[in-house]
Structure 1
Amino acid sequence: MTAAATVRKSTTFAAILPLAIFSAFVASYWFAFGDAWIMHPCDVHQPHWQTVVSEKRAELAAKIPQEWLLSQRVIDHARSRRSIAGDFLDSLLDSHTRDITTREPTEIVREIASGNLSSVEVVTAFCKRASYIHQTSPAFLEIGFDLALSRAKELDEYFNTHGQTVGPLHGLPITLKDHFHIKGLETSFGYVGWIGTFEGIKGTGKEKNVESELIRQLVSVGAVPIAKTTLMVSTWAPENNNNILGYLWNPYNQELSTGGSSGGEALLQALRGSAVGFGTDSGGSVSMPSSYNGIYSVKPSPGRLSFKDAAGSGLGNLAITAVVGIMGPSIRTLRLVFKSLMETRPWEHDSSVLPIPWRSDQELSPDANLSFGFMESDGIVAPHPPIARALEIAYSAVKNKGHQLIDWKPPSHAANAMHGPLARGDGCPDVYSAFKSSDEPIVPQLLHLFPDGNLKKPISLPDYQNITQEMMSFRNQYREYWTSTSRITKNGRPVDAVILPVSPYAGFKPGKFDYSTYTSIVNILGYTSAVVQVTFGDKSVDVVQEDYKPLGERDKLNMDTYDADASDGVSAAIQILGRDLEEEKILSIAQIVADAIEEYQAKQT
C-alpha cells in the first residue's frame, strides 16, 4: 500500500468508527510527515490539542446513525481504490436513495413542489449518501443531520398545510464550507483552537448561536443545510489540509489532491453528497477545486453574495475580497441558486452587497451570436495536455455553433505577482494566533507564511497603497483591452466572454502545486467566472509533444511535473471569464458553452 493510501485509510478509519469503538483511539494523534498527516498511537502525555482533535472526531462519528455505518471491509475497499467517483458510491446505496441523490437539483425542487417527493425523503437520502462519503473520505468538520431532518419536517408541514413551498429551494439539501455559522453547529474554520469557542474566543455566548447572513437567506427560500465541509485551514493554500481531519484526496484519483481551499465542498459535490454547495474564493479557491473534482461553479464579483457574519482570514481586506462561490452538478443548478438568493434582496441586510436584483435581461439566449476571447496559454505557464485538449474541444464546439473566437492577448498576467502582497500583506497575524491558541503545528502547506516559525513583518501602509494603485492601473488596462476588441469582432461588440484554463493541471500531487495565475488574476480584476467541465484525462492521447518548447524556466518546471498516468481519468475543465458584475450573463454563456460541448462530443462518438 502506498504512503498516501496509508494516510487515507488511517484518517477515514478514525473518522467513522462508532463512538464505543472510537473511544479506544482517543490516545492517537496527528503529526506532520512530509505533505501528509499520519495517525500514530502515543502515550498519555500527548499535547492537549491532540486530545481535542480526538474528541471532535468522536463527536462527528457519533452523529452518523448506526444504520448508516459502513463495514470496515467496505471502507478498506474504498481506501484501496484509485477512484471512488462514479458508480462506486451508488453501488453501496439502496435504489431509492440512489435515485433521489443522482437527480438534477432543478428536477428535485420541481418534484417537491408538485408533491411527488417530500422534503424529509430528499433530506434523508442526501444525509445518508453524505454519511457514506464522510466515512470513505472525511469531508465534514460539522454534521447537522438531526437539525436538517427537523427542518425538513417543518417544510413538509408547511407544504401540507398551505399547499405551496416556502421558496424556490424548498427542501433542497445544501452544504457549505466551514466559513459560515449555522445555529446549533460550531465553526472551527479548520483550527483546533476554535473548537468549543466562537472564532477562537471562549465564553462569548455566541457559540452555536450565530447565523451567517447567507444561511438566513438560504433557509428563507427553503434550502436545508445538512453539514459543513472541511477546508484548507485559514484558506491560504490551494490544497486541503487541517489538523482536525487531515489531508483530503481527489475522488477521481486518490493519489492526487482535491485542491483548495474549498476542497471539501468540491469533493462532496463530485460525489453528490448534497444538491448544491457553497465555497469561498479569493484566489481560485472555488474555481480550481471545482475543475479538479469534475463539477461546475460560479465565482461572482464582490458585491453580489453576502459574506456578513462569516468567519474568515483577512476579512478587513477590501483590495482582494473573498467572495462566496456556488458549486454543483450543472450550470442550471448554479443559476437556480443564484437567482433564488437575489430574490431575498441581500443588500437590505448586508451593506457590502450591491442593490442589484436578478437581471433576466442580461441573460443571453441559446441562439445568440457570440464572440469569445480564447486564451490557450498566458505566455508564462502552459496547461498540461489534458487541459490543452479540453480547450481544443471547447474551441471546436463553440466554433461549430457559429460563434467567433479571437486570440486573447491581454495585459500580461505577470501582474498576478501583486496578489500575494495584496491578499496577505499583513503577514497573516490572525492565522498565526489561531495556530498558537492551541499549540497545534502549522500545517506544511502554510509554513512558507511563517519563516522559522515566526510572523513576517507586514508591508508598510505606503507600500500597500502603491501596490493597490498598481492593481487599479492593471484593472483599467485590462478593461481598455477588453473594450478594444469591439474593433475586431464581427458583431462590433467587445467579446462577450473569454475561454481560458482554470489551472495548468487536471490534478496534482500533494506539494506539487505551483501556479494559480489563471484564477487569481480574476480576483485581482474583480471579475466574474464560471467553471465548465469538458472531458477527462486520457493517458493514451494526453502526452507532451516531442517538439514542445518551454515558454520559460517556470513553464519547463511545470511541464516536468506532468504525469500522464496520474492524470488519466481525472477531470479537465475550462474557465469562462466575464467582466465585473456579469453573473447573469456569464451563467447564460456558460450554459451555451456547456451545451455546445455536449453536442460536439456526442457527434464525435
Structure 2
Amino acid sequence: MTSKPSSPTWRQKAAKKKERDLAKIPNEWRLPPITIDQAKTRCSIADDFIDSLLDPKTTHITNLDLPILMQMTRSGSLSAVELVTAFCKRAAYGHQLNDNLLEIGFQQAIEKAKSLDYQRALKQPVGPLHGLPITVKDQFYVKGMETSMAYVGWIDTFEGDRSSPRKDNVESEIIRELESLGAIVIAKSTLVQTLGAIETNNNILGYNQNPRNQLLSSGGSSGGEGAVQALRGSAIGIGSDIGGSISIPAAFNGVYSIKPSVGRLSFMNVADSSPGQSIIPTVPGIIGSSVASLEYLLKSLISTQPWLHDSDVLPLPWREQDDVLNDSHLSFGLMEFDGVVRPHPPIQRALNMVAKALSTSGHELIQWDPPAHTTALEIHKKNEITCANGGYDIFERLALSGEPLIPEMRSSFPDAKATTPLDAIQIEKAVIRLRAYKAEYHKYWMSTAKNTITGRPVDAIILPVWPSAAVEPGKPIYGGYIGFANVVDHSTMVIPVTRADMHIDKLDEAYNPVGEKDGEIWKSYDPKLYHGAPAAVQIQCRRLEEEKLLSIGKILTSALSEL
C-alpha cells in the first residue's frame, strides 16, 4: 500500500512563500552574495549605501519627493513606467538587504504603469497620483496580490480559507481609492505576527532589523513599512495603527508619519486582529519622506470623498489652514518627562532642539502635565479593550499551520494560548473608564487657555514617541508616550529631528531612576550601540485636526532647518 504523502510543515510553507517572492525579482536586479554579506557587517544600509548600489538614474528618481514626482508625471517629463520601474528596482534591492516585503508585485505594477502611460498619451493624467509607486502593509487587500498578514496558515488562502471566492476578488477600499487616483501598489510590507508587538517579527521573514542601525528594531507593527521608507523602496507607504503601530516605526526608522483620527480614512475590507473590536479602532495612516508627501497623499485620498463608499468615514472635506501657517504666535504643550520613564539622552536632545527652534521662531511652549498616560495604557492594554476577546482569533490562525507564537508576544500570552475573554459587564466598565479618561484629557487641554499668551488652548503638544531611539531586540519597553493617542483619538505626526551621537549623548551616571521601569530603560542605553539611530518627536493635535497638524509640521521642520 502506498503511504499518503505528509502535509508540508509550517517551516516548509514559510520557506516556499519566501522563495516564491524572491523569484519575482528579475535576475538583473539580483544582488551578488558578496554585497549581501557586506551589508550584514554594516551599521546602516540606508542612504549612501543603497544609493551606491543603484545606477544614477534610479538613484536620482527614487530620492525625489512625492510632490515633485507627481508634477513630473503630470507634465509628462517622467513616464509612469520609468517611475514605477525605478522604485521596483530599489525595493528589490532593499528587500534583499532587509527582508521587508511579504508580497512582491513588480511585474504587475509595471504592466499597470504601461497602461497609465497609454492613457496619458491619449488624454490627461488619471489623477493627482498618476503613476505613484506605493507600498502597503500586508493587511491591505490588493487584487492580484496575496495577503497573509504574516500568518503561515493564510498563505495561498483567503484568511485561511483555501476555497473562498474572495481570494482573488476582495480589495480594501483605500486601495480602490488610491488606484482611482493613479497610484500603483508595487509590494506589500512585512509586519508583526498578531499585530500586537512593537518589534516586527514573524515566522515567514523573521525579525526585521532597522536599516539605519541594524543592531536595533524597525519597530512595529508597521515595521516593514518603516524599513521600506527608510530605504526609499517606494514613494510613500500605508500602514495601520491601534497603539502606535505607525508612529513607532516612523520614529525608529527616521521617517515621517501621520496617524489620522478614527473616521478620516477608510479601513473597510482590511484584515485585522480582533476584527470585531471597534471601541478603539485600528486606523490607516501614512509613512513617507516629508511632511509635504504626507499632506499630498492625505489630501488626495480625502478628495475621493471616501464617506460615499464607507459609512464609517466622516463626511469631512479637506480644510486649508492658511491661518495656522501665517500665525507667528502658536502655543505648544511640551512633555519632556512623563514622570514614569525618562527618555534617553538622544531623545532629550531632540526635544531640546525642537523647543529651541520653536521659541526662536516666536512660538510659546508651556509644560504639559496631563492626566496620567499610564491610565490610558491600562485602558488600552490587551486584556481590557483591544484584546477583550482573549486573543482567540490569534490562536485559531496559528493553528491553521501549527506555527508558534513569536517570542515578542509571549508576555501577553505566557501560556501560548488564548486567555479568558472579558464578559459584557467588564467591557462596559472599561468603556465607561475610557470615556471618563477622554473627557478628563480634553478638559485639561481646554484648561491651558488660561496659561497661554494667545489666550486659547495650546495648538498642539510635543513629546517623545518612545523613550529610546529605536529598541534593542529583547530589551525592556515602555509605550506611555504614544499609546494614549489612540485612546483619546488624537491626530498624530512623527518628525525625525536628529541622530544619536555617542560623543554628545552621554549617559548621566548620577541619574536616580524614579522607579523600576525607569531604571531598566535608563540602563538599557548604550551610546555606542545607539550611535546613528534616528531621534524623533511626535506632534499631536486634537481629534480630526489632521490639516492643522500638517501645517504645524511644516512650521516645525522649517524652524528646525534654521538651527
- Per the TM superposition, whether the score is higher than 0.5 is yes
**Structure 1: 5+ residue runs without aligned partners?**
1-43, 601-605
Please give the secondary structure, in 2, of the residue aligned with 1:449. coil
Kept after mapping to 2: 8 A contact 1:363/1:588: no
Partner of 2:491: 528
Q: 1:207 aligns with which of 141, 147, 167?
A: 167
Tell me the SS of whatever aligns to 1:239: coil
| Cα distance in 2 between the residues matched to 1:595 and 1:396 | 13
Matched residue type, 2:152: V
Contact 1:429/1:455 (<8 A) preserved:
yes
Distance 1:518 1:363 in 2: 29
Moved more, 51-60 or 222-231: 51-60
- 1:363 & 1:270 partners in 2: Cα distance? 33
Aligned counterpart in structure 1 of residue 68 of structure 2, from 107, 112, 128:
107
Q: Is residue 519 of structure 2 the alignment partner of residue 556 of structure 1?
A: yes
Paired AA for residue 256 in structure 2: Y
Provide the aligned C-alpha RMSD in A: 1.3
- CA distance in structure 1 between the partners assigned to 2:16 and 2:8 by the alignment: 13
Secondary structure of the residue that 1:448 maps to in structure 2? Answer: coil
Cα deviation for residue 197 of structure 1 reads 0.6
Aligned partner of 1:84 in structure 2 is 45
Is 2:235 the counterpart of 1:278? no
**Kept after mapping to 1: 8 A contact 2:303/2:318:** yes
| Residues 451/148 of structure 1: CA separation in 2 closer, same or farther (3 Å cut) | same
CA separation of 1:355/1:255 partners in 2, compared to 1, >3 Å: closer, same or farther?
same
Aligned pairs (5 A) from 1:313-328: 313-328=273-288
Structure 2 residue aligned with 1:511, among 447, 464, 474? 474
* Letter of the 2:110 counterpart: L
Whether the 8 Å CA contact 1:363–1:585 is kept in 2: the answer is no
- Of the three residues 483, 487, 491, the one matched with 2:450 is 487
Q: Size of the alignment, in residue pairs?
A: 556
Alignment match of 2:390 (pick from 393, 404, 427)? 427
**Counterpart in 2 of 1:17?**
none
Measured after TM superposition, the shift of residue 47 of structure 1 is 5.5
3-state secondary structure, aligned to 1:517 = coil
Q: Take 2:302 and 2:37, find their aligned partners in 1: how far apart are those partners? A: 44
Cα distance between partner residues in 1 of 2:113 and 2:359: 46
Counterpart CA distance in 2 for 1:356 and 1:70 is 46
Report the 3-state secondary structure (helix = DSSP H, G, I; strand = E; otherwise coil) of the residue aligned with 2:257.
strand
Whether the 8 Å contact between 2:343 and 2:464 is mirrored in structure 1 is yes
Q: What SS does the aligned partner of 2:167 have?
A: coil
Distance 1:90 1:367 in 2: 39
Report 1:63-212 matches (<5 A): 63-162=24-123, 164-212=124-172
Structure 1 residue 571 and structure 2 residue 534: aligned?
A: yes
TM-score, scaled relative to structure 2 = 0.97
Give the Cα separation in 1 of the matches to 2:432 and 2:275. 20
Task: Name 1:391's counterpart in structure 2.
Answer: 351
In the TM superposition, 1:438-477 aligns within 5 A as: 438-477=401-440
| Contact kept in structure 1, 2:476 and 2:521, CA below 8 Å | no
Partner of 1:248: 208
Q: TM-score, normalised by structure 1?
A: 0.90
Tell whether 2:554 aligns with 1:594.
Answer: no
Counterpart of 1:153, as a letter, is K
- Partner amino acid, structure 2, of 1:122: L
**Separation in 1 of the partners of 2:277 and 2:149?**
18
Q: Which residue of 1 aligns with 2:316?
A: 356
1:244-273 Cα deviation digits (max 9, x unpaired):
111000111111111100000000000100
Q: Judge conservation of contact 2:476–2:520 (CA < 8 Å) in 1.
A: no
- Aligned AA for 1:52? K
Q: Partner of 1:219 in structure 2?
A: 179
* Secondary structure, aligned partner of 1:459: coil
SS at match of 2:239: strand
Residue 188 of structure 1 aligns to a residue whose secondary structure is coil
SS of 2:415's equivalent in the other structure is helix
Equivalent of 1:62 in 12, 19, 23: 23
Contact 2:200 2:224 in 1 (8 A): yes
The separation in 1 between residues aligned to 2:349 and 2:187, in whole angstroms, is: 36
Distance 2:416 2:340 in 1: 32
Alignment partner of 2:411: what SS? helix
SS in structure 2 at match of 1:588: helix
What's 1:39 paired with? none
State the AA in 1 paired with 2:298. Answer: F
Q: Which whole-Å CA distance do the structure 1 matches of 2:479 and 2:209 have between them?
A: 19
Which residues in structure 2 correspond to 1:381-420 (within 5 Å)?
381-415=341-375, 416-420=377-381
Instruction: Determine if contact 1:300/1:527 at 8 Å carries over to the other structure.
Output: yes
Q: Write out per-residue CA displacement over residues 280-305 of structure 1, whole angstroms, 9 at most, x where no aligned residue.
A: 11000100110010000001111001
Task: State the 1:551 CA deviation.
Answer: 2.2
CA positional deviation for 1:593: 0.7
Q: Distance in 1 between matches of 2:470 and 2:418?
A: 31
Between 1:44-53 and 1:101-110, the stretch displaced more is 44-53
Aligned ranges 1:18-33 → 2 under 5 Å: none
Between the two proteins, what is the percent identity of the paired residues? 47
1:331-359 per-position Cα deviation (integer Å, ceiling 9, x unaligned) = 00000000000000001111111110111
- 8 Å CA contact 2:328–2:362 kept in 1: the answer is no
Shift of 1:366: 4.6
Aligned to 2:292: 332
Structure 1 236/363 Cα, relative in aligned 2: closer, same or farther at 3 Å? Answer: farther
Structure 1 residue 46: Cα displacement: 9.4
Q: What CA distance in whole angstroms lies between the structure 1 residues aligned with 2:7 and 2:183? A: 42
* Aligned match for 1:580, one of 538, 543, 549: 543
**Superposed CA offset, 1:384-438 (max 9, x none):** 1100000000000000000000000111112121111211121111111100110
Taking a change above 3 Å as real, the CA distance of residues 73 and 45 of structure 1, as seen in their structure-2 partners, is farther
Code of the residue aligned with 2:386 in structure 1: it is A
Q: Distance in 1 between matches of 2:323 and 2:254?
A: 25
Question: How far apart, in 1, do the equivalents of 2:35 and 2:516 lie?
Answer: 45
In 2, distance between residues paired with 1:599 and 1:316? 47
